[in-house]
Every structure is written in structure tokens, then in C-alpha cells.
A and B are shown apart, each in its own frame.
Chain A
Amino acid sequence: MDVIFEWFRVLYDETGINLPFLYDAYDRNRMVDGFFTTIRLSLVCLFFSVLIGVVGAWLQGSSFKWTRRIVNGYIQLFRNTPPLVQLYFFYFAIGTMLPTVENDWGGQSPILGSFAWAAISLSFFAGAFNVEIFRSGIEAVPKSTVEAAEALGFSRLQIYRDVTLPLAFRVVLPALNNNLVNLVKTTTLAYAIAVPEMLYEANQIWSDNVNVTEMMIFLLLAYFVLVGILVGGMNRWERAMRIPGFG
């Protein structure tokens, strides 16, 4: 491994192509940390946005007018405003109103850090799209299937959990995956509130080493590969989960 890393140092000396995140242990750690922060942020947002989607779709089927109205309002508000401004609004406007806690150095720090706010804000953003996706999936389940389950004595929650959702999940998968891929791309916005994800760490490295070109090209390729792998995996999954004879 070290031989390969050293080769990149030689490459720098010979050609001037500077890739410090390969030969310099400190920069390498930063880049790896950034990569895993991006992955972690994506996974957290993925989980909560799907959760918001499932719960929201269930609430939209509620018989209370105001529940439906509030869910609709949430969807429209989050779909039609820029995610970056939402992030700022959460982090700066709401974040400053929350109480602070004492940190290890005796100072005051906000109760939720930038990572938490990025996760909250992006989950709400992606969740707004997921609600509609799940709801249209639920509506694709025929009424007769639900009635059959009712006749077998399933409760409302059981029907939703054991009959409607598994069927709906399969048809919504392509639309859902599309949204989740978008979510992964949107995690770069967390850069704006200094979450140390991949773009932020790359920025740190190019600020220290003045190698903007190399870092920029690496970053583009890294995201291209990351998203490409994700899309490929999702497509395989879609094929595996497809309902035979449908669509």
C-alpha cells in the first residue's frame, strides 16, 4: 500500500500533479472521514425520509380534514423552496432558538450540531417527495385486496403494514430510488453549514495545498462513481423486486 502512496508523491515531484490525499497520511484521513460522513449523512437522511414518507402517506389517508391539510401544506412548502434556504432556516433561525448545553471545554454549544441539522433538514426535504410517492403506491393497491384482508380479520394497522405497504413498496421502488439518488447528491449542501463531508474536506485540502484542479476533478469522479454504483445497485434491486407481469 505504502508503495502505491509513495508513487503518488513521486508523481507530484515529477509532473506536478498533486494528490495529497493519497500520499499524505493526514490528508488521507481527512478525505476518508469526509467520505464516511457523506455516507453516514446519506444513510441517516435516507432512513428518516423514508420514515416520513410512510407516516405521511398514512396520515394523508386519515379522515381528519386538518391532518390532510397539514401534510399537504408540508409537502408543498418543502417542494417549492430551495433546500439550501431550508437548511439555513433550520440551522440559523431555529438552531439559535434552542437551548445550549455545556461542552467539554466549559463553553456553551448548541444542543444540535451542524450534522444533526443537515440530517433533519434534508430528511424533511426528501420526505416531502416520498409522501407523494408512497401515497400513489398505496392507491395502486386494489380495494378488493384490502377488503379481502379485512374479511380475514386484519386490523387497519395490520393491513397497512402486512398487505398494502409490501405491495405498494414494489411498485414505488423506481420512483423512490430516483428520489434517494437525488438525496445523496443533495448531501453536498451540508457543506454550507460546515458539516465535514466529502466536498468540505476536499475544500480544506485544496485550501492547504493549492491544488484546486486536481481535487475538483477527483471530486467529480468520486461522486460520479458513488452515484453510479448507487444507481446500478438500485436498478438491480428494482429488477429483483419487480412484480411479475405488472407494468
Chain B
Amino acid sequence: MSYKTDLPVMKPFKPREPEPLLGFRPWHIVVIALLVFFGPSLAFAQAGVPLLTPFAVLLDWVPLLLQGFIFNLAISFLAMALGTALGTLLGLGQISLSRATRGVSWFLTQFFRNAPWLVLLFFAMFLLPFEINLLGVSIPFPDWFKAILGLSLPVMANVSEIVRGAVRSLPSGQWEAAESLAYSRRQTLWLIILPQCVKRMLPPWMNLYSILTMATVLASIVGVSEVMTLTGQALAAEGGRPELLAPFYGFVLLLFFAYCYPIARFTVRLERKFAVIN
């Protein structure tokens, strides 16, 4: 039990969310981004033969890169959906009454949480067949599908922990009250516990989604043609001019920042809204 004192040894500690880009107006960011990404390339351009400026070259490739980025987002949606579905099952397994189910779910969760994302992605890429034969019909397993499976494994493990943590964070009085009202265990879980958990799970779940979106570029290492692969190909097609590297990679950084930063801000706001005040 906490008690009040004027001189606490330490105040309560909770890792806080970073502040927004304090005082930056949107145009500040644009100017800084332009300076960072294009400033260095100007230095190269001065000595060069009259070629298209790096910015003009980038502009030519923007539609293709955007297509690649949308593919990234598609991968992230599907992997998140699959990972959430599997992870919820695994998380419920972790709080099951059966000892064996609990043990297996715990082990699977820990195993996939401790393995690096890239290794799991390699695992899915190389060990899954490129097609499977079901009743004489061969179903192809394209690269991107294997990437989704590979990325959904760590998502599954993390969602499992989120579910377990949320259920654990509810006061045990909820369970006891439901029991005294003669709810069965399944009813308690579905009608009383889980609806309250959704609110608690949402912020960490969104955090996880943002991490997953940033992890989709890993698929480029194993050869899925998403935005990073396309960037590499575009750079090669332009003859590998060194002054193009910064604008192109900078553009990809900017794309992800523009997508993930609002999600992060929204998560912080939700966390504040759902915070329980003791």
C-alpha cells in the first residue's frame, strides 16, 4: 500500500514517452530535412558534368518508391493481422488453467520473443517450401507471403505477452466478483476480463505495429521487392552516382517517419486517455 509523505526517497518511475518535436513547426522540419538530405549532394553536384540534379532524379523515381512503400504497408497489415490472431490464442494459452498448455504457450512466446526478427525472417524464407501440394493442387508460396509469415512470428510472441500482461494487470477482484455472480470461467473471460483488457492492450499493440512497420524493410535483405529493394535498384539504374545516395535513402527515412511518427503521437495520447489515476 502506498502512503503519503512529504519527503519520498524516490518518486514513482514510469518510462515516459518522448516529447513531440517541441516547438517545431512543420516547415522547420521540411527545411531541416532538405538541408540534411540535399545539402551534402550539392557539394558533389558542383564538380560534376551537367546531369539532372539529384532532386529531379529522385522526383522521377518517387512514384515507384511510393508503390514499394505501399507494398511494405500491405505486408505490415497482413503480418499484424496474422500475428494478432495467433498471439491472442497464445496469450490466452498462457493464462490457461491447464499446466501443459501454459507451459507450451510460455515456451513458444519466450522462444519467438528472444530470437532476432531478421533470423526469424531468414528462417521462414529458407525453410518454407516455395509451393505445397494439397490433393494434387499446387499452391505457390511467393516470397512476400513467406515474409509475412516470418514477420508474424515475433509479432505473435509480443502480442501474447501484451495479452497476458493486460489480463494480469486487472485487479483479481474482477475475477472473484464474476465468480460470486456464478459466471463460468469462459463467460468471465469473454464478457468481463477481455473487454476491459482491450483498452489496456491498445497502446502497446500500436507500438508493436509501428515496430513491425519499421521491420518490413528487413524483407529487402531476403529479396522481397519492397521499398528498400526498389531504392537499391533505382540507384543502380541511375549508374550508382554517389550524390544520389543521400537523397534516396533520406527519402525512405522520411517516408517511414511520416507514417510512424503520427502513430507514435496517437499512441501517447491514447495512453494518457486510458491512464488509470491512483
Contacts and interface: CB of A to CB of B under 8 A. Distances in A.
Interface string A43-87: 000000000000000000000010011001101110111111110
Contacts of B126: 212-213, 216
B103 to A, nearest CB: 16
A141 B245 contact: no
A228 interface: yes
A199 B119 contact: yes
B263 to A, nearest CB: 8
Main secondary structure of the interface of B (DSSP, over half): helix
B266 interface: no
B191 interface: no
B190 interface: no
B256 A93 contact: no
A238 B122 CA distance: 33
A89 B15 contact: no
Contacts of B220: 84
A89 B116 contact: no
B17 interface: yes
Interface string B225-248: 000100000000000001001100
B9 A246 contact: yes
A127 to B, nearest CB: 12
Contacts, number: 160
Contact of A212 (B117, B127, B256, B261): B127
Given A77-B257, A171-B10, A223 B246 contact: no
Given A75-B18, A216-B127, A246-B9, A224 B111 contact: yes
Majority secondary structure, A binding face: helix
Given A72-B19, A80-B257, A188 B119 contact: yes
Closest 7 CB pairs of A and B: A82-B214, A93-B246, A185-B116, A227-B114, A80-B260, A171-B13, A89-B249
14 contacts: A69-B23, A73-B24, A76-B21, A84-B221, A85-B228, A93-B249, A97-B242, A139-B11, A139-B16, A175-B15, A199-B122, A223-B114, A228-B110, A247-B13
Interface of A: 65, 68-69, 72-73, 75-77, 79-86, 88-89, 92-94, 96-97, 131-133, 135-137, 139-142, 144, 167, 171-172, 175, 185-189, 191-192, 199, 212-213, 216, 219-220, 223-224, 227-228, 231, 243, 245-247
Given A81-B253, A89-B250, A94-B40, 15 more contacts: A77-B253, A79-B264, A85-B228, A85-B253, A89-B246, A93-B249, A135-B16, A142-B7, A188-B116, A191-B118, A223-B116, A223-B119, A224-B111, A246-B10, A247-B13
